[in-house]
């Protein structure tokens, strides 16, 4: 499956149904939050490792191609490694987004740019620009390993990192989960109880008796 087809299908999904479909997916630390909520981030990882210095981030931004997501392992430092200028350049280059395991600044400006940007901290203090670190290597961002070429998928609930094989394997299941949830939501709007659409009573009784059971939708 090519990336454009993958992206088209992912755009109709959310991180929650993907996590339901793949329990072992790499999910970044929830402290890494969207600076401009409401945007969905889908792209191919371009990785950077740095600490207290954004020079290599600028290099990666220069090298980045359309649809890529800049994933920055800043070792969680409380120093800004990206801001409005980088977000604006990312938008100009049609990147998929920017993820910073560290700080960002210029929040007001970032929120006026139509590019997903996630960061662990917001701070006005910027890093230096005098040291060169590595790009396009395997890094650790948000507590999970990220390799160049991984698929990065983010929304307001968080960020998932997947290989192309991982996302292809769970995509059909995730789509089915989303269809069921939409069906349940529509029935709830018609005043049907959530519990009535689950095997809740049977499941609860079995769990109370220490028997094996799984909570499922019956709608």
pTM to 2 decimal places: 0.94
Enumerate the domain spans of the chain.
3-165, 169-208
Using one digit for the tens of pLDDT, what is the confidence trace for 108-135?
Answer: 999 999 999 999 999 999 999 999 999 9
Give the pLDDT of residue 46.
98
Whether the per-residue pLDDT at 219 is higher than 80: the answer is no
| Third-level CATH fold of 3-165 | Glucose Oxidase; domain 1 (3.50.30)
Inter-residue contact 79 to 102 (CB < 8 Å): yes
Direct distance between the N- and C-terminal alpha carbons of the chain, in angstroms, rounded to an integer: 32
Give the pLDDT of residue 1.
83
Q: What are phi and psi of 65, to 5 degrees?
A: -110, 165
Give the pLDDT of residue 137.
98
* Residue 51: closest CA among 150, 116, 130, 105: 130
User: What is the maximum span of the chain, computed from C-alpha positions, in angstroms?
Assistant: 64
Alpha-carbon gap, residue 19 to 160, rounded angstroms: 8
Using one digit for the tens of pLDDT, what is the confidence trace for 43-85?
Answer: 999 999 999 999 999 999 999 999 999 999 999 999 999 999 9
């Amino acid at each position: 499956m090519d990336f454009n087809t993958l992206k088209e299908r992912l755009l109709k999904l959310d991180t929650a149904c993907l996590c339901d479909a793949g329990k072992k997916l790499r999910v970044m630390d929830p402290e890494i939050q969207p600076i401009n909520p409401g945007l969905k981030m889908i792209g191919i990882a371009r990785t950077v490792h740095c600490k207290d210095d954004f020079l290599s981030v600028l290099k990666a931004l220069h090298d980045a191609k359309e649809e890529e997501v800049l994933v920055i392992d800043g070792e969680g430092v409380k120093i800004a490694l990206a801001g409005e200028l980088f977000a604006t350049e990312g938008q100009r280059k049609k990147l998929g987004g920017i993820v910073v395991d560290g700080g960002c600044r210029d929040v007001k400006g970032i929120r006026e740019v139509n590019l997903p940007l996630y960061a662990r901290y917001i701070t006005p203090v910027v890093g230096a620009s005098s040291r060169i670190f590595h790009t396009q290597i395997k890094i650790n961002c948000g507590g999970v390993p990220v390799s160049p070429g991984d698929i990065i998928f983010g929304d307001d609930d968080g960020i998932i990192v997947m290989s192309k094989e991982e996302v292809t394997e769970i995509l059909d299941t995730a789509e089915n989960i989303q269809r069921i949830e939409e069906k349940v939501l529509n029935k709830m709007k018609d005043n049907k109880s959530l519990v009535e659409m689950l095997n809740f009573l049977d499941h609860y009784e079995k769990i109370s008796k220490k028997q094996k059971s799984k909570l499922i939708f019956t709608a």
